[in-house]
Chains A and B, each alone.
Chain A
């Protein structure tokens, strides 16, 4: 049984449709990320699950029970906000204890439960402090402790890492995932950050303009995007207009500019049903710049380096092959190529994906 089910959900605000008809099943104990740019409807979905918004149409089920008419305070959900939303006039311990007061928890048990939650987020000694005395990262841990101490059926995280500094964000990402795995709570995580989504999720729901674009495991969504939007939103991709010339049992033949005819594994082109217009998707990091000859089975195309965007451990090149500009992200081996250098673009056909044109 799914922990959360969205059944033909539609949400309209006046004339504006924030979420187009969509359905979603979230498995018990899963870490599911709603990923998309701002305004894509991901937060609207989260707020509908939370009970902060009512869907215009459709049903929401939590643990198999319809909750459309259950008010938020009876849904038993843990909610964590981007801006922490800790109660500034209560101490950390009072914040964490807040939800326990509304549950059948004997008051003698409350301090122990609070302390356990604080230990879980690795801040056991701050109970008597006020939130404003803590750093942003610490406040977010307290907000997490406050949400999980009530043993929620579903944990809802609304961009919880977005307000943190870059370094802290990566630490918190690992920390959040560790805590989620430890308590095993079904988690719905909303973010616009693809690396957070890829790193943390069991399943990613990519959304755009109120529609679900693709649902799948991180690797699946990353390697086999089901739309141009997904290909571009998760990492950088080169998309070339071409056509499918033949479709075989395990290979699909795609003819594209620059690279010519490529035999792509059928599982990387699941949406192509037969010959016709098609798009070749080449991930920027799969395009290798080299001045050596290509090994067997690797396509090689001459190009020259137009722009170099140095990033430390990696480098992003904008290269020109014929009249097409392509992006390539390579790890740096020695020195990056200088602008204007003539290079070969190496591409393994099995690293490509294809979409219907």
Chain B
């Protein structure tokens, strides 16, 4: 075998375990889901194998699904916005910190060591009827009876922000950390105040990181079912809850498959638009 041929094969040999894993664990199940979505669940509870468009027709025409999809996108958008507003200053602080940035980043990652479900449920201890906040308010004499603070859209967004904020901070941090501090000094020397220099130089140069963080927050936020399940009320179901409901509760795999593919298509389109204008490279930087 020639040297060129051997060198050309080498990366594929090295990649083969990863490619096998991706193929078996991601690609094959996805094909199953696509196939399932065209089967039909009969009244007896058995799945009828074939090529039926009924699930798709139901998923695409029923206003119930459409409204929940729009509500899901709305909640994801609000969450992303809150993450951006809260995360940017934190990222700026870490990027400009004089001391050990690694420690600050480690602190940021600390919550990841605790299960996302546990972190989400911790809000019940804080905001619940017998939670910390209500107990404190009663003890202070500000209220007589506990207030129901949980199980509404606000707590869902709160839980999502709690979950997603580190992703935003990390992405913005990577972007800010890559900006030469001389640029701000140069802008200041030319007459711009610190705030003007920030608006004119730092902010525009950090937008790719903000966009990458925004994309991650939006996609992860829109695809979650645990937060609305734990912290939402009956009317706060998000789209992934419908999939959960169809597959786990009703055992209707064909409909659940069609619904999950619908969400995948919407979020996939968003990723493609992002890639078209900003490129995936920035996202990789933030994840690496």
Could you list which residues of chain A lie within 8 angstroms of chain B, going by C-beta atoms? 50-52, 71-79, 81, 83, 85, 87-89, 98-99, 101-103, 143, 146-147, 150, 156
Judge whether A89 and B204 touch: CB under 8 Å: yes
**Of A74, A75, A102, A146, most B-chain CB atoms within 10 Å:** A102
A51 to B191, CA, bound (A): 12
* Set of chain A residues within 8 Å of B188, measured between Cβ atoms: 51-52, 71-73
Top-6 shortest CB links A-B = A102-B191, A99-B190, A79-B189, A85-B182, A85-B186, A72-B188
Judge whether A73 and B189 touch: CB under 8 Å: yes
* Set of chain A residues within 8 Å of B200, measured between Cβ atoms: 87, 98
Tell me, rounded to whole Å, the shortest Cβ–Cβ distance linking B149 to chain A: 44
A156 to B182, CA, bound (A): 14
* Set of chain B residues within 8 Å of A75, measured between Cβ atoms: 189
Judge whether B191 and A87 touch: CB under 8 Å: no
Known: A71-B188, A73-B193, A99-B191. 11 other contacts (CB 8 A): A51-B189, A72-B188, A73-B189, A73-B197, A74-B191, A78-B189, A79-B185, A88-B205, A102-B190, A146-B186, A150-B190
Judge whether A52 and B185 touch: CB under 8 Å: yes
A85 to B183, CA, bound (A): 5
A81 to B196, CA, bound (A): 20
- Residue on B with the closest CB to A80? B186
Judge whether B190 and A146 touch: CB under 8 Å: yes
B201 contacts the other chain (Cβ, under 8 Å)? yes
**Of B189, B196, B204, B205, most A-chain CB atoms within 10 Å:** B189
* Set of chain A residues within 8 Å of B194, measured between Cβ atoms: 73
Judge whether B192 and A73 touch: CB under 8 Å: yes
Q: With A85-B180, A89-B204 given, is the CB distance from A79 to B186 under 8 Å?
A: yes
- Residue on A with the closest CB to B187? A98
* Set of chain A residues within 8 Å of B204, measured between Cβ atoms: 89
Tell me, rounded to whole Å, the shortest Cβ–Cβ distance linking B190 to chain A: 3
* Set of chain B residues within 8 Å of A147, measured between Cβ atoms: 189-190
- Residue on B with the closest CB to A96? B190
A267 to B190, CA, bound (A): 45
* Set of chain A residues within 8 Å of B189, measured between Cβ atoms: 50-51, 72-73, 75, 77-79, 147, 156
A89 to B189, CA, bound (A): 18
Judge whether A89 and B187 touch: CB under 8 Å: no
* Set of chain A residues within 8 Å of B201, measured between Cβ atoms: 87
* Set of chain B residues within 8 Å of A72, measured between Cβ atoms: 185, 188-189
Cβ-neighbour of A102 out of B180, B186, B196, B205 (below 8 A): B196
Q: Give a binary string over B188-220; 1 marks a CB under 8 Å from any A CB, 0 the rest.
A: 111111101100110011000000000000000
